[in-house]
Amino acid sequence: MKQGKSRFDVLGQIGALRRYARSLTRNDADAEDLVQDTLVRAYEKRSSFRPDRNLRTWLMTILHNMFVDRIRSRQAETRRLDQAADASDGGIDPEQDHAVRLAQVRDAFLDLPEEQRAALHLVAIEGFSYAEAAVTLGVPIGTVMSRIARARTSLRAMEEGPEHHLGTPTLRIVGGSDDRTD
């Protein structure tokens, strides 16, 4: 019985396993992890060890195979991450950009003259028709339409900046219509 234990002297091979693991990983911490995993695997598979085999060779084979498996696993993970990145739409804009943009639009809206702001609010935010807004404001429907048109023009100018000239609007106010219909 004593002879069987001496042939399976795994602890006597730890120095060689550490040297080989450091040579493969080039990192002390990774080498220690690899040796530990090798010893666990050897213990789990001890029934497959044949007494006529060289224990050191058997352990080094386990260590080497575990190292190769880790490399393959990392490469597969990298490929999966790359494929996921390629399949994504490029990400989502940071939420703070939306908050800043919303604050800019709110400030531009609040900078409008009161009569334009009131008309635009009733139509775009409250969903009033031009006729309902005209009744609420106590002005003719044409005046409401004119105020809304001027408000939209001011907001578009804020959106486009000074370097753009009027063209296709990039900021569209919800509610009402850009086309006048009497």
The domain spanning residue 123 has which CATH number?
1.10.10.10
- Looking at the domain assignment, is residue 168 inside a domain? no
Residues 6+ apart with CB under 8 A from 119: 133, 137, 144, 147, 148, 151
Nearest Cα residue to 38 out of 58, 62, 14 = 62
**Residue pLDDT, tens place only, 81-104:** 988 877 776 666 677 877 888 888
Mean pLDDT, rounded, for 140-153: 94
Tell me whether residue 139 is in a domain.
yes
Looking at the structure, tell me whether residues 7 and 49 fall in a common domain: yes
Same domain, 73 and 118: no
175 domain residue, yes or no: no
Residue 59: pLDDT band by 50, 70, 90 thresholds?
Answer: very high
Average pLDDT value for the chain: 84
Q: Is the pTM of this model over 0.85?
A: no
d(CA 101, CA 49) in angstroms, rounded, equals: 68
The reply to whether 80 falls in a domain is yes
Tell whether 38 is covered by a domain: yes
Query: By mean pLDDT, which of 59-68, 138-147, 156-165, 170-179 is the weakest?
Result: 170-179
Quickly tell me which residue has 């404001």 as its tokens.
137
Residue-level pLDDT at 174 = 62
> Using an 8 Å Cβ cutoff, are 105 and 155 in contact?
yes
Residue 159 or residue 161, greater confidence: 159
Domain total of the chain: 2
pLDDT at 4: 45
Are 52 and 8 in a shared domain?
A: yes
pLDDT digits (tens, 9 = 90+) for 1-21: 444 445 678 889 999 999 999
Are both 10 and 66 inside the same structural domain? yes
Torsion of CA 28, 30, 32, 37, to 10 degrees: -170
Q: Is 166 inside any structural domain?
A: no
Residue 6: predicted pLDDT: 52
Q: Is residue 144 part of a domain?
A: yes
pLDDT at residue 167 tops 70: no
Instruction: Indicate if 114 and 156 belong to the same structural domain.
Output: yes
Pair (72, 6) in one structural domain: yes
Pair 119, 82 in one domain: no
Residues 28 and 64 in one domain: yes
For residues 41 and 78, membership in a common domain is answered with yes
Cβ(46)–Cβ(63) below 8 Å? no
32: domain range?
2-87
